Amino acid sequence: MNKTRIRVLVGKPGLDGHDRGAKVIARALRDAGMEVIYSGLHQTPEQLVEAAIQEDVDLIGVSVLSGAHMTIFPRIKELLKEQNAEDILLMGGGTIPEEDIAELIEAGHVEALFTPGATTTEIVSWIRERVKSYE
Amino acid sequence: MNKDALDQWLARLFERDRRATAKLISWVEDDIQRAYIMRSVLKETGKQMVVGITGPPGAGKSSLVEALTTLYRSNNERVGIVAVDPSSPYSGGAILGDRIRMQAHGTDRDVFIRSMGTRGHLGGVTRSTSDILRILEGGGYGRLLLETVGVGQSELEIMQMADTVVVVLNPGTGDGIQAIKAGIMEVADVFVINKADLPGAERMKGDIEMMLNLSCDGLGWRPPVVLTSVTNGTGVETLFEKIEAHQTYMKTSGLRDERCKHRLRKQVWRHWEDKLQATFEDVWETAQQKLGDIEKEDPYEVAAALWAERFKGG
């Protein structure tokens, strides 16, 4: 099947209002030819998953700077499973300690995490690689 | 994808499965089995009327869509929304941000919001918008709302997709001459002056009413001018009532059939255009290598010659 556009939901769950990072990513993905649905601030995992389903995205990208990553990522994954939508990938970014990254990825709560210093090129090529490989 | 699998997705659509609704929309948008999907969908749909909301960027289209949706939901009606934002002419990517203004319905499964990029299509909507509205209808959403990209003066394709066209304007954005210009001001079935809490709303209403005095002959439908303020929550119920009144008028006057006929013609023509474009993209690939000095080529002659060559012998 020829998908013509990669679609990504970029969202900010929880209470932190620092959305510069999310906007930079949204813009970079736009410039890489992807359709980015921007959810805005203060989303619940339920809102993000419902939006991801209705928008039929390939991937959810979530920015977490509040320290709530150990709760938010597993919750989003769980909701995706409940909706039989595990095929939607989950990617995250933000200030997340290395030991937590290892734990989240090993447990399968998230497919990839990018921390400060990651380049947008790196993120774009990761998405292209993953979205292609499961098609 | 094989037809059996597709038929299963279509069956799930009619059982109101949200994932099937979303997937079928994507396939139609990506032109995968589009004609096959639409053949099934169109058999079951076409009864529900579409309300189109258009107007310049930042006028409050998404906020009005959210406010109307709240009213429909209070009557327990299911709402399907297509919201269009522009795609980049450079990368083809897009940032689709209309959901931000529709948070109130973010977890309501009886409201389906789908954001779309224009993907190079001009006119304020996308190539597949009208099909996608019908898929939403097939998925059991009885109220259909279409929000265009922020438009200027002449993105008028919404006329062919909506049964009721709502044009949203703001106070202080033009005088009486703007109001009598051709284009967007002519296609409105209902005018909304949103942000009516700002100064100049009454004056603008006056300008539009004056324009309507010149253009309406007293027969048929005269577009009402509604003042709304989504932040203060005023006027939205009046807007709701005017939309209802217009839809009743469309049905009883027979105008809906007129618009449907016009819509069909436009859609058929669009398919021909797409076909022609696809045909000549191939022709162009091979033909351009044979051309001589590019700067001296006459586009009229090249076009005529390639046309004749492609369609020779019938």
Q: How far is A79 from chain B (nearest CA, A)?
A: 12
- Pick from A125, A4, A52: which is nearest to B119 by CA? A4
Give the Cα-Cα-Cα angle B290, B120, B23 (nearest 5 degrees): 115
pLDDT computed for residue B184 by the predictor: 77
CA dihedral B127, B274, B122, B64 (to 10 degrees): -10
pLDDT, tens only, A5-19? 899 999 999 888 888
Q: How far is A115 from chain B (nearest CA, A)?
A: 23
CA B106 to chain centre: 22
Q: Which candidate from B21, B100, B117 shows the least CB-CB separation from A40?
A: B100
Q: Confirm if B37 and B24 have CB atoms less than 8 A apart.
A: yes
Tell if the CB–CB gap between A5 and B119 is shorter than 8 Å: yes
Alpha carbons B19 and B2: distance in angstroms, whole number = 18
> To 10 degrees, what angle do helices A69-82 and A45-55 make?
40
Instruction: Judge whether residue B10 has pLDDT over 90.
Output: yes
Instruction: Judge whether residue B109 has pLDDT over 70.
Output: yes
Tell me which chain B residue has its CA closest to the CA of residue A30: B93
Interface of A with B (CB under 8 A): 1-5, 7, 26-27, 29-40, 43-44, 46-47, 50-51, 53-56, 83-85
Tokens in use for A128?
């292209």
Q: Confirm if B118 and B85 have CB atoms less than 8 A apart.
A: yes
- Pick from B195, B209, B26, B288: which is nearest to B18 by CA? B26
Q: What is the 3-state secondary structure (H, E, C) of B268-300?
A: HHHHHHHHHHHHHHHHHHHHHHHCCCHHHCCHH
CA dihedral B208, B212, B215, B219 (to 10 degrees): 160
Mean pLDDT of B260-274: 87
Mean pLDDT of B141-159: 84
Contacts of residue A51, Cβ cutoff 8 Å, sequence gap at least 6: A9, A11, A37, A39, A43, B99, B106, B113
Give the DSSP H/E element, type plus range, for residue B4: helix B3-14
DSSP state of B234: B
Q: Where are the domains of chain A?
A: 7-133
Taking the CA atoms of chain B, what radius of gyration do you get in angstroms?
A: 22
Beta-carbon neighbour count of residue B61 at 10 Å?
Answer: 28
Q: How far is A44 from chain B (nearest CA, A)?
A: 9
Alpha carbons B75 and B227: distance in angstroms, whole number = 23
pLDDT computed for residue B235 by the predictor: 96
Tell if the CB–CB gap between A40 and B92 is shorter than 8 Å: no
This prediction has a pTM of 0.90
pLDDT, tens only, A19-78? 888 999 999 999 999 999 999 888 999 999 999 999 999 999 999 988 899 999 999 999
pLDDT computed for residue B76 by the predictor: 96
Integer CA distances (angstroms), B185 to A98, B166, B173, B223, in order:
58, 10, 13, 10
Tell if the CB–CB gap between A54 and B107 is shorter than 8 Å: no
- In sequence order, the β-bridge partners of residue B145 are B51, B81
Tell if the CB–CB gap between B22 and A55 is shorter than 8 Å: yes
pLDDT computed for residue A135 by the predictor: 46
pLDDT computed for residue B140 by the predictor: 97
Chain A residue numbers touching B92 (CB-CB < 8 A): 5, 33
> Where do the domains of chain B lie, and which CATH numbers do they carry?
43-253 (3.40.50.300), 264-310 (no CATH)
- CATH code for the domain defined by A7-133: 3.40.50.280
Chain A residue numbers touching B99 (CB-CB < 8 A): 37-40, 51
3-state secondary structure (DSSP) of residue B308: helix
Ranges of H-type helices in A5-114: 20-31, 45-55, 69-82, 98-106
Instruction: Judge whether residue B101 has pLDDT over 80.
Output: yes
Please give the ipTM for the structure prediction.
Answer: 0.91
Tell if the CB–CB gap between A38 and B97 is shorter than 8 Å: yes
Interface of B with A (CB under 8 A): 1, 18-19, 21-23, 25-26, 30-32, 87-88, 90-97, 99-100, 103, 106-107, 109, 112-115, 117, 119
Chain B residue numbers touching A55 (CB-CB < 8 A): 22, 113-115
Q: Which residue has the higher pLDDT, B218 or A32?
A: A32
3-state secondary structure (DSSP) of residue A93: strand
pLDDT computed for residue B177 by the predictor: 66
pLDDT computed for residue B44 by the predictor: 93
pLDDT computed for residue B132 by the predictor: 96
HSE-CB at B24 with a 13 A cutoff on CA atoms is 32
Tell if the CB–CB gap between A50 and B109 is shorter than 8 Å: yes
Q: Select, from the ranges A40-49, B180-189, B217-226, the one with the highest average predicted confidence (pLDDT).
A: A40-49
Tokens in use for B40?
């099934």
Contacts of residue B33, Cβ cutoff 8 Å, sequence gap at least 6: B1, B6, B27
Taking the CA atoms of chain A, what radius of gyration do you get in angstroms?
A: 13
pLDDT computed for residue A134 by the predictor: 45
pLDDT classification of B274: cutoffs 50, 70, 90: confident
Q: Which residue has the higher pLDDT, B209 or B288?
A: B209
Chain A residue numbers touching B113 (CB-CB < 8 A): 51, 54-55
Q: How far is A102 from chain B (nearest CA, A)?
A: 31
pLDDT computed for residue B127 by the predictor: 80
pLDDT computed for residue A130 by the predictor: 92
pLDDT computed for residue A129 by the predictor: 92
Helices first, then strands: H and E counts in chain A: 5, 5
Integer CA distances (angstroms), A65 to B24, B92, B188, in order:
35, 30, 46
Instruction: Judge whether residue A111 has pLDDT over 50.
Output: yes
Integer CA distances (angstroms), B237 to B64, B98, B110, B228, B243, in order:
11, 22, 21, 9, 10
